[in-house]
Structures are given as C-alpha cells and as structure tokens.
Structure 1
C-alpha cells in the first residue's frame, strides 16, 4: 500500500510583515529570536478547496485524483477535444506536499496563507505578538480569539466578535497586538460565526524564557503539535449549526433521504455531542480510510507521520480544535507522561489513554523505548453505545509514529490490552468512575480533579481563601437546554439564550445599562418567556470568585459541556456527578447537592452551610489550573479564580453547535472605570436607522442629478 512521508518546512516570520505560503509544520520551533521584543506575522484569510493543487505563480488550481496508486492533477488541455477536455499530469512530491488532502473529498473551505491547519505560531513568553489579518474572503467577516491568552490591559484583542471588537469585513485589515502570556500550549481560532473546523484554527505555542524551564521532566529531542478535529466533507460548520438550531439533526446526512441519523451514547448513557454523521477525525489535517467501502483515493491518502529516534524523549502538544467531538488518544506500545493541560504544568503522571475535549490542550512526553518500528497513533471516539444502549464499536482514526531506524511502512501494531492484573490508566475522564467501571473494568479513570498542579504552578497560583464573606462571591451558572410551551429546548445559560449586542460592549460599555438589550436572571422582565438577550453577569474585582458550573435540564437525556473562560483561568476544586442507576450504572437523576428554581434559571446549594465557600471536599491544596473544563451532564464543577482582569469576558460552551445558538454568558469583571481605556481610532460599529426627516425632498433634486 502506498505510503507518503512528508517533511515539514520551516518558515520564519519576522518584522517587517510579509506573507508566506507553505505547508503546515508540526515541529515547534521559534518564529523569532528570544532577544527580539516583537514577533510579527502576516495572515491572509482566503478560500481553498481540499484535494486541489494550487499554482500560486499562475493563479491556477488543479483537482487531484488517484489512479492505480498515483496522484494526478487535472489541467486544462492546450488541445481541447470532446474525448479529453483536460490533461492528467502526475503530481510531483513537492506539489503533493502542498495539497490539503483532509478526507480525500473536495470541500470548499477556509485557510490562512493557504495552510490547513492554520500556521503554527511559536513565540517566547512576554514577547509582543503582532498578527495582521487580511480578510481576503468575499462573503464572510472574521475575528480571531487567542485561546489561553489573558489579554491583560488589552481586552480589545481577545477577538470575540461583537463583544470585544467589530468583525473584520471582507477587504479589511486588522492588526492584533498582545503580550504572549501565559506560557504553554495554546491555540487560536475564528470567533465570528462557525468557521474554525473548516480551516480557521492553528496552534499558539508560548515557550518559557531561558532558565525558567521545568526541571522535573526529561529534556526532549522533538517537540511537535498534534491537532485533532472531526471532519464533515458534506457540510460547513455554519450548516451544521443551522441544522441543530432547527432540530434537523436526524436528516444531517442528507436532507433528501429516508435514512435518519440517530444519536449515540457515552460511557454513562448520556447523549454524545459528536455531530453525526461522523466518519473520521483529522490529525493535523490528514486522515485515511482502510475499509474497501471507500474509494481508492480515500484509501491511499497520506497520514500524518511523526518521526522519532530510539531512546529519545518526545513532546506532543495535543489540541482538540474540533466542533463537537471528544476523543480518546493513545499510541500503541508506548506509555505517555502527562505533564500539562491548557498551558499549565501538572505533576507528571504516566497514562495509557487521554480524553481530550473541544477547546482543551494537553502536553505529553513519549519515551521511544519500544522496538524500532512503526506504531499507530489512535484517535478514538468516546461513543460506546447506540441510542438504545446497545454496545457499538468505537470509530478509530490514525496517525503514525515512525522510528527513523526502521523502514517506512504502515504499522502492524495493536492497541494496548488492559487487564485486571495490568490495568490501564485513562486521564481526563468526565464520566462517573462507577459508570466507567462497568464498561471498562480494567481501566483506572482519572478525572481532571484527580490531577495536581506542579509545585511551581502551585506556588505562583495559590488557591484564594477569603478572609471574610465580604471577600467572597459565588455564582451558579447552568449550561443547559431550555425552551417554552411552543419552542423546543435550545442551548442556554440560566435559561437565557445569548444574543450578540448591536455594538461591542467593550466599545460602547454604557449599553450594559440598556435593559432592552442586556439582561441576566435577576432582570428578565423585558426578555419574555423564551429569553434571548445579551446575557451579562457582573463580578466585583479583587475578590475570591467561585463559579459553580452546572449542566441540568431536568430531563433524563442530555449532554456534558466543555466550558471555556476568556481572559483568565480557574482552579478545579471539585466535580460532582449525577445520580446513577444502581443496576445499569447510567445517569438517572441530577446531583442532589444543588437546588434549582422551576425553570432552572437559578440554583443554590441545597445545604445552606455550604455557602460562602464552605463546600465539603474542595481540593484546596494543589488543584489543576484550566481555562476549559467539562461539566458532566446532571452534575457540576466548582472552580475558583481571582477577578483581577477587568473587562467583558465570554464564558461559553466550546461546542460550536451550542455556543452559536446561545450557550454563552458575558462576565463583566469590574466597574466600567476599572477597565483599560480603548485605543484611539479603534474600529466601531452599530445599528443604523436613517431619520426619514433628514432625507432630501424629491423636488429639491435638480435635472442634472445634483441637490
């Protein structure tokens, strides 16, 4: 079977700005010298089509296909004939390297500098980063969120459309400038509409300054990015969001069909969030099919290959840039040393499997101590049952780990076999241990709350303990589906469906006083039974802030939600799971620690002695720091943070199909006067209504058309 091995090219972006067209690189190498105060990038947002070879010099594109194991491009023929209107020319190695193959289908999509995934940014901690965005699209506006960056003193660079800035319209240029902090594995993606899994997402790596590197982990020979996402070649992200919004998911495979798509279930019987129909995951934009039911083209696609040498340590920076899917990642015949999550160092722990959800990042180290050869990197879905609770086979996608000492060939390795004598360890389990034990009895499950912050992280970020009740604020936020007697339930927070304001709050902050636009669960009088507004919750600065994140619909079925916070991160102090059926181990009822109002818009601790931060079993000593955490269905997560970054910061479900329909809330941190002053000449936008009185009268227009 044909196997393509691709070498990544390295391009440096330096001041002045310039544009580079190149293939995606998974190696982590600095784009600028550590001595440079500023690192600049020039990004052109444009359209591409997968499985097309582009000649940037001539401005031509050539569809790519496979015949008898060889990749060809279709080119316009100089001699046009009915029998052969185009020429078929084999692709060179260099041309094939530039083709975005994805799943082998032709899909109209987005890109940055013709790359997919988008270019990797690698800078040093506290460097100033400048990214000039050229919107070369015809129809779509864009913005970019720098996921994991605090944006202290620069909240207008957070990149949330109609919250922190106006959209960048077609033909416009906008320059993002911010300080690269904190360090670690982060990423960036579009934050206007639904576009990120169709091409607008890339890695953002912030390296530690010299002499501040970790001393408790091995020095690595290779440092690489592994981005994973689901892929739908038939529909765009916006189409999938619209299909969910109008409750047409059953027909998402084809609207003109009698074959309906059914949902599937996770380990605890809850509904999977993975959008159906699902075929394969992409690893750094690549995948391959092995079943004979797929075309030759799809069965000969290039895999993403990671080259390593024997007896070396290798760091993998894992990023789930997907729209809806959680994945279980493992590498055959190799243990993984888990060392960080969301850019924050953890006490190292050896694992076999890792669950990664949309929005999350994890860092692992692999020691190349197996027999030199080729090994599968497995990306499995977390769905294990059909809608009727019958066991099903998990879908597996692949990348390849290749030892340089071995021949180039497809792996023949097998997945790790877990047993009671030699149990496997799975990190970041979001399901109850009791549910997991019934499906995977030989797997030890570690939730994110079981992981520990490293000693340095703990020293730099101690858990805030309030001196008095006046120094403490606690907010309950329910990420759930809700509707009314007429409209079916849709994504919301505290029964409010988020709607963007007519002008960005950061640009026109006084709009928060307008109750016809902004509301929260204390002020819903103008919102109606099906409440849709710009949902804003106000927090005081410099206080110990405890957020209780919940996922409760009052229904037997439901999903978990990966919740992401902009402008800060939080310590995960406790996870409370749902009540399980004692016979099946499936979710049966809501966790009883929390009491809800009738429409689930408000919540409080059922036991009043738990208030003011007195919740039992909080992990105060060394909890992990995160900016994205999964809230289990019918359960809750207690997180704590310091509100020391004034601004308007979005808190939302990182499933695009949920966020874009309303599962988001704005945290207003501080008073308006505490927020940094907006730069002069910052772009503004708002509604416009022309006063009819000011229109010129028709009889005042002269015959030559002048007034």
Structure 2
C-alpha cells in the first residue's frame, strides 16, 4: 500500500502568510557585491507557540473543535487565540511535539536567494547547549575556498556551543541548491534550507530562452520522524526499528520494497512533509491529525510557474505530481536541461528538479502528491552495518574495511569513476551518491536485468566482474573495456549533476577534471549510510597546491597525552617516578630569595644590637642574651625554609 501526502495548489488571488515563505524572492539586492547574514542555531519545539523575539512565554498548541489554539493555562478552556493569528510563530511538523534544531527559530531554515557572483558572508552562532554544528552548501564547488565546504573534521572543525564561525564564499554557479548541517543527523532535525542562485544580467552567457515566470516557489520535500533522527538512524543500524509502538508493540513492521524489489526499510514513510508541514499517516492511509495545516502554493489562473523541488530527505525517494497538471522539467541539480514533459518526477535524497507548470485548469484547489515507491511487503530483516574507524593504511581490505579512505587525485587529470552497487543477498537498494567540490558528467548508467512483467530485478548487470563477495575488487568483465574504453558512453551531451543515483544491481560511470585543489567528501546521501561510513575523501592535489587557509583558521584533531613511560597521577594524586621540573625550579627560586632576605635581616639586626651595646655598656650582658636568642630563632626559620 502506498503512503502519500497531498498538498493543495490553490487558484486564488491572495497570498496567505505563513512561518516559511515559499515564494522565491531575492534577499540581497542585485547591485550589492557582498550579501551578509546572521544566523543563530537554537532549539525549538514543534506544536508550541514560540515568541517571535525568542524570549517570553511559550504555549502548547492543541486542537479545539477541529481547529488549533494556543493553551495558556492548565485545567481550563482559557485559550490564547486561534492558530491563524500565530502562524509566524509555530512549527507544526507532523502534529506531534518534539524537539528540533532551528536557524533563527525557523524550520526550514531561511532561504538564501542571491545573484550569481555575489560574495556570501554568513555569521553562524551556535546557541545549542551541547551539540556542535557545521553547514555544507550543497552543489557549490567552492573553487578556491575548500575550507568553506562545511564538512566537520575534513574542511573545518565543528562549531562548538557558544562559538561563532563566519562562512565566506562566492555564489557560483546559478541554479537550485541547498544547505544543511553536515554533522551527524542534524539536517533531518531542522538544519536545512534552500539556496537559490539567480542569473545576474552581467554574467549572461547566452540569450534567455524563457519568458519570466509569474512566480517561483521553494519546495523542500522530506521525511519527518516522530522523534530525533539520530534515534531513527540508530534503531535502523541496530536492527530494532522493525518493532512497532516505539519498540513496545507485539507486531513488527514489514519490509517495504520498491517496484524493482529494492528495499526501502521496515517503516517506509510515516510523515512526508513539504516545507516542514505534513500529517502523520498510518498503514491504512488514515491520519492522526487531519486539522494540521498543509503547505499551500498560490497561483493565478493562466500564469506560468516554476517549482524548485529540493529533496532534503534522510532516507526515502519520492514521486511528486500535481493533480490535473503536467510538469515540464527544465533543470536538474541546478543545471538547465532540454525540456521534458512528465506526469511526475522522482527525487532521491539531495537531488533537485526544477519543473514549470501552466496554470490552465479551472479555478480551484489541486493536490500536490508525494508518494513513496513501495510496491510489496516481505518479512525479511536488515543486516548489520560496519562501524567507522580511522586509517586504512595497515588494514587488509580484501573484505569489508572500517577506516577513512582517501583517494589522491593528480591536478589536471581527467578522472573516471565507476560506481558499483552490487548486493547479491537480495537486500539492496539504490544509493544517491554526492560528490563535494565538483559537478560531474554522467557518462553512462548500467542497469541490472529486470522481469518485464513484474519489474523485479532478476540479475545483476553482467558488465561487472566481482572478485570478492562485497565486490570491492571489481573489474570489467570484458578486459577491452579497461582504461576508459567503455562502449555506450554519452560523450556528446552528458548530463551534469552533483548527486547521482546508483541503481541496485547496476553501475554509473562519471567523469571530472581534477581542477579544484582541496579535500572533498564523496558519500551516500542516505543519512544512515553516511553516518555509518559509506564515504571517502578525495585529496585533489598535494598540500602545497591547495589554497592557503585564512589567518587564525582553527584546526582540530585528536589529542593523545604521551607521558614518556612515567607513571604519573594528576590532579590531587601523587607524583610517582616523575617530577615536575617547572614546579621544582619555582620552589628552589623561592627558597633562594628567602635565604637572601634572612641574611640581610640578620646583618641589619646584628648592626643594631652592636650599636646599642656601644651606646649602653651597662646593658651589655642583657644585649648579648637577646642577640643569642634572635640568632637561634633565625636559624629555625632558615631550617624550615630549606625543608
């Protein structure tokens, strides 16, 4: 059974205000060379009234006779006011309360809409209590600024709580992109938003073939979890997400599969959302909260509109369609393409597809539908995934390795990658693979063999010969294909993308020119797979060929205390078999100074006593006694100092 959400497309004449503005409008004037923004990352609660100032009383949002109200007190019906008056201060999500992360108290994050060639300056303050953060600008090559790519522990240190980090880079090229945190699973908990780079008139390279649109819309689609995405990912990694009712139920979720029999997972989709608005659905298609507002796109009859659809999903692929409207695909992953008519489009995690529609239907509301790709259910369960580790240098990688894999690329070379997705155990799935630092040419996609009646995969693509069970020592089955001599390559007009779907049982051939020195992350964009280590690092050029880091750019890494074999206890413990030379030197210096003071004092007192003796011989006997007593006291003080 397919689970879908539907969003209304309304033919009306007034734009209704909401907490997230889905209309594409530049937020930096075309004449400016620098666009500057201030972001504060903070916690936020869904289904709670959040004061626009960020301070003040918050109120839970509750349904009353089918509409939402803010409750101001316990045990009474004294409601503050209806939600229609509070839209700018509420994030509904799927209708459940849960903690999330926000940028300037917004989910999705504020859209960046700028012009190509402008300098972007974003001051990010981490106002969280205990989580580090970072931001990656998905699809931007960051040529010349690899240290602004936003991958923690690859291009920068995480921004720790209380710290501020300034990103600065050039907005290039034009197209539909997005940004998201690249630390853990934070992008699925609110830290993501649209990044639209518009064509600048001074940078036009060819005559514009399309007339201006009546309006353009930001369309962020995602899956939404009733709890933090870190919990969802760990449940999947630990193979316990199949248990229902938050692990307490007697029944288990059944494995969902796509039309080619590739797996989706035990849970599939529960809450697909558009611009962080949706309704939680159950297996029978019912929803818990029919009163939760959905995203609305307002158009006028007869107008032509562009929807910039961006998948920020953690796990799932979606089919998107609009009732009674054909879609015309005009761009993919930020690059314009030859126009194609379509009834629907399918997006995997991190992909973007720009479509335009002609609003020629009768005035009314039309559903925008998001469907998962589920075709049938089975009772199989997932297998364990390897954990991450560090260096690959001293590991035997004939089987599965758990290490940080770095590929060295020589500057100026044309690099061809063959991405293989062979999973012979029957529990595979397509993988959306994203390359940082480049937009690559897709030269060829090799699909597996399918049953023409059922659509199920019947055989892995025979072009690849796997020499291990994991297929990590693969080669072409035909030796004549080696060294780039692969037939069927599109060398005339290969698509340009930054995220490519590698089909289960098949492969993809892509090419880049190694012209962007730096360290670039290359990984699966399914969130669980990325945090489990389905990634590597491309080192493009040597260190001397990479751009110089800005002054005072903070670096990070491991700290291991080396005590040189001495047995040392720190803090209030005792020092054994070791001495602190600095502490000893300080004590010795203080003792020498005290000895000098005692000697000077002794000399002074002796002179004084002698003078008194000379002036008063009658007191001679008494003076000698005092002098002896004083010298005895001074010797005792000296002895204590030496100890």
For 1:55, what is the secondary structure of its paired residue? Answer: coil
Number of the residue aligned with 1:74: 71
Match of 1:546 among 416, 423, 429: 416
Distance 2:443 2:182 in 1: 29
Count of equivalent residues: 560
- In structure 2, the CA distance between the partners of 1:583 and 1:94, relative to structure 1 (3 Å rule), is closer
CA apart distance, 1:594: 1.0
Q: Which stretches in structure 2 are left out of the alignment for 5+ residues?
A: 1-7, 585-589, 591-643
Confirm or deny: 8 A CA contact 2:442 2:511 kept in the other structure: yes
Instruction: Please say if 1:159 is aligned against 2:150.
Output: yes
Instruction: Please say if 1:518 is aligned against 2:518.
Output: no
Number of the residue aligned with 1:64: 61
Distance 1:206 1:292 in 2: 40
- In structure 2, the CA distance between the partners of 1:295 and 1:96, relative to structure 1 (3 Å rule), is farther
* TM-score (ref. length: structure 2): 0.82
Number of the residue aligned with 2:33: 37
Match of 2:439 among 565, 569, 583: 569
CA RMSD of aligned residues (A): 2.8
Which range moves more in the overlay, 325-334 or 253-262? 253-262
- In structure 2, the CA distance between the partners of 1:66 and 1:142, relative to structure 1 (3 Å rule), is same
Distance 1:673 1:133 in 2: 29
For 1:203, what is the secondary structure of its paired residue? Answer: strand
Number of the residue aligned with 1:425: none
Number of the residue aligned with 2:179: 188
Question: Which is higher, the Rg of structure 1 or of structure 2?
Answer: 2
Match of 1:228 among 221, 227, 237: 221
CA apart distance, 1:138: 0.8
CA apart distance, 1:671: 1.8
Match of 2:19 among 11, 19, 23: 23
CA apart distance, 1:698: 4.3
More helix by share: 2
Distance 1:91 1:54 in 2: 14
Which range moves more in the overlay, 96-105 or 615-624? 96-105
CA apart distance, 1:688: 2.0
Number of the residue aligned with 2:192: 201
* TM-score (ref. length: structure 1): 0.75
CA apart distance, 1:300: 1.0
Distance 1:597 1:310 in 2: 59
Note the 1:630-641 alignment, pairs <5 A.
630-641=501-512
Number of the residue aligned with 2:488: 617
Confirm or deny: 8 A CA contact 2:277 2:295 kept in the other structure: yes
Match of 2:290 among 276, 296, 299: 299
Q: Which stretches in structure 1 are left out of the alignment for 5+ residues?
A: 10-21, 78-82, 390-480, 482-487, 492-496, 500-516
- In structure 2, the CA distance between the partners of 1:241 and 1:147, relative to structure 1 (3 Å rule), is same
Note the 1:197-596 alignment, pairs <5 A.
197-210=188-201, 212=204, 215-233=208-226, 235-251=227-243, 253-272=245-264, 276=267, 278-288=269-279, 298-387=289-378, 489-490=384-385, 498-499=388-389, 517-519=390-392, 523-525=393-395, 531-581=401-451, 584-596=454-466
CA apart distance, 1:36: 0.6
Confirm or deny: 8 A CA contact 1:563 1:629 kept in the other structure: yes
Instruction: Please say if 1:658 is aligned against 2:529.
Output: yes
Distance 1:586 1:252 in 2: 28
Distance 2:452 2:332 in 1: 33
For 1:689, what is the secondary structure of its paired residue? Answer: coil
For 2:528, what is the secondary structure of its paired residue? Answer: helix
Distance 1:257 1:180 in 2: 50
Distance 1:253 1:179 in 2: 48
- In structure 2, the CA distance between the partners of 1:292 and 1:656, relative to structure 1 (3 Å rule), is closer
